[in-house]
Amino acid sequence: MTELANVGDGLRLADGRVLMPDGSVVDPNAKKQEVIIIDKPSEAAKLVARTRRTLADLPAIPAKMNVVSVVLAYTMYGLSDEEIGIATELTVVQIRRIREDDAYKSASQVVKDTILNSETTEVKDILAAGAVTAARRVVGDVRAKGAAGFAAARDILDRTGHSAGRSTLDEMMKSGGLTINIVKKDKSDTDISIKLGGE
């Protein structure tokens, strides 16, 4: 016995698609797109950047990159040149030449940068998550008696640009120094220039 349709069910077409009451057509056999839930905007930006890379972004043609990538992966894994040679059927001389190649250097730098950026982002996210709590604690410590309160107060003043320990001369020295030019009225005398601090 055939089941009757429920209110809101679509009309099944001969090719298997379903005509929905709103006029849209749904193909239940179509491959569903995976949904990736991303918690942080920085992760979303990295994902978009990774997905937009193409073969044209490689530092060498794919055939060469395959060899470079294998040597790079084994190197990162910690294998010696001799062990890499056994695994790849390359000589130690060929492996060293590959490491000297611009494609290897470029791929190696991309891998290092990716790892560092990933770790840096993770560290920044961890610090950002604790920043509000840390700030509240430092501000709360200002009310403490003695050295702890003084240190917290000095820290807050310093981080907000109100440090009492800095003078105008100190600031000038850090920002490039202070230059005093003494110009003589008589052109036969040489000018005197005094430079304090800076470069």
Give the per-residue pLDDT at 95: 93
Rounded CA separation 181/16 (Å): 88
- Phi-psi category of 80—alpha, beta or left, where left has phi over 0 and alpha has psi -120 to 50? beta
What's the pLDDT band for 49 if we cut at 50, 70, 90? low
Range of 32-41, 51-60, 151-160, 162-171 with top mean pLDDT:
151-160
Structure tokens belonging to residue 145: 């008696």
Tell me the three state secondary structure of residue 89: coil
Q: What percent of the chain has pLDDT over 70?
A: 71
Per-residue pLDDT band for 175 (boundaries 50, 70, 90) equals low
Tell whether the model's pLDDT for residue 131 goes beyond 80: no
Confidence (pLDDT) at 60: 80
Q: Is 161 helix (H, G, I), strand (E, B) or coil?
A: coil
Per-residue pLDDT at 98? 93
Predicted confidence (pLDDT) per residue in 17-43, tens digit: 888 777 778 888 777 666 667 777 777
CA–CA dist 13, 20 (Å, integer): 10
This prediction has a pTM of 0.40
Residue with tokens 């056999």: 29
Q: Report whether pLDDT(170) > 90.
A: no
Q: What is the mean pLDDT of the chain?
A: 77
Q: Which pLDDT band, with edges at 50, 70 and 90, does 164 fall under?
A: low
**pLDDT class for 70, splitting at 50, 70, 90?**
very high
Rounded Cα distance between 142 and 167, Å, is: 24
Q: Could you tell me the pLDDT band of residue 116, with boundaries at 50, 70 and 90?
A: confident
For residue 71, CA distances in Å to 76, 102, 104 come to 9, 14, 9
Most confident of 43-52, 89-98, 112-121: 89-98
Task: Let me know: does 59 contact 53? Beta carbons within 8 Å.
Answer: no
Tell me the DSSP string of 18-60. Answer: EE-TTS-EE-TTSPPPP------HHHHHHHHHHHT--GGGSSS
Model confidence at 68: pLDDT above 70:
yes
Instruction: Read off the pLDDT of residues 72-108 as tens digits, 9 standing for 90 and up.
Output: 999 998 999 999 999 999 999 999 999 999 999 998 9
pLDDT given at position 21: 79
